[in-house]
Amino acid sequence: MQVQAMARAEEDRRQHRMRLISAALSRLDEGEYGYCMTCGIDIPVKRLEVDAAAAQCVVCAK
């Protein structure tokens, strides 16, 4: 049962990551990629290099 729970948790994480990536691609299509969805400032390139699906700047993500 523990193996099944771990597999389900992994699948949930994978699905969540896919939703984040899909949202990032939508922002790219709309010309909104790279801007914080909360405050509107540019998300630093270094942050996007670490997580290309980041939707918020470091300050707003806290």
- The predicted structure's pLDDT at residue 25: 98
- The predicted structure's pLDDT at residue 20: 97
| 41-46-27-60 Cα dihedral, nearest 10 degrees | -50
Phi first, then psi: what are they for 32, rounded to 5°? -105, 0
Tokens of 12: 């949930």
pTM for this one? 0.84
47: amino acid identity, one letter: R
Q: Tell me the CB-side half-sphere exposure of residue 59, using CA atoms within 13 A.
A: 9
Q: Which CATH number is 2-61's, of 1.20.120.1200, 1.20.1740.10, 1.20.120.910, 3.20.20.70? A: 1.20.120.910
Query: Mean pLDDT per segment of 10 residues, for the chain of length 62 residues?
Result: 93 98 98 98 97 97 92
Question: Would you list the domain boundaries of the chain?
Answer: 2-61
